[in-house]
Structure 1
Amino acid sequence: MINALIAIAVIAWLSQLVLGGWQIRHFNRAFDQLCQKGAVGIGRSGGRFKPRVVIALAFDEQQNICDSLMMKGITIFARPLPLSQLHGINRKELQPDVIFPHDQNCQNALSLAIKVKHG
């Protein structure tokens, strides 16, 4: 019985490692594509037991959003998705509390992505 529990725990741990690596690979590919489109701002919300949010925004020369991605979730099944509703909006016009009125984590991540610029 104990050997079966140990085997199940090892299988679960190995599965998490493999699927976590798969998630990171998907995110890195999407992020690399984003970085090729312009200067990138990145924001991440914190939280241990609530869904974490990562938002990355690519800005063109006029500081308009030309591409974006958001990854939100607790599990390894979260995938990076574009925030198409933000494309074309200027950095100065972004208002996180208006864009995400009911999601404090998304507001925090977007606020950080607006401030931080990597290019």
Structure 2
Amino acid sequence: MRVYVPLTLPGLAEAYRTGVLGTGSFVAYAVTPELRQWCGSEDLEELEYAALGQAALASLRLLAADRSATPRRVVVAADVPDRAVRTGPDADAELSELGEVMVAAEVPLAKAAAVH
């Protein structure tokens, strides 16, 4: 499954330093059933663009929380095994944003498909 991980420039630098996007569980964005319903589309490219947009908004929230970070949004797209992604009612109760998922796997930065 393609996931979109919201970061800041310091977060990207940390991922570069450690070689991983996240360890344990971390929030990302993906094409979920709720996102499909909201978009009213089955066009995968359009749906992935919507998930990317949600991750970009989350990056803005990260920037608001870290005023010392350079004000640049960062989103890393990566492919992870479906079994590593939790969505919907079986995911953490904290998931509230459209397309938000929990990734429960270490994601090597070298596996990133793109950095936006």
TM-score by length of 2: 0.28
| TM-score with structure 1 setting the length | 0.27
Higher RCO structure, 1 or 2 (CA under 8 Å, sep 6+): 2
> Between Structure 1 and Structure 2, which shows a larger proportion of helix residues?
1
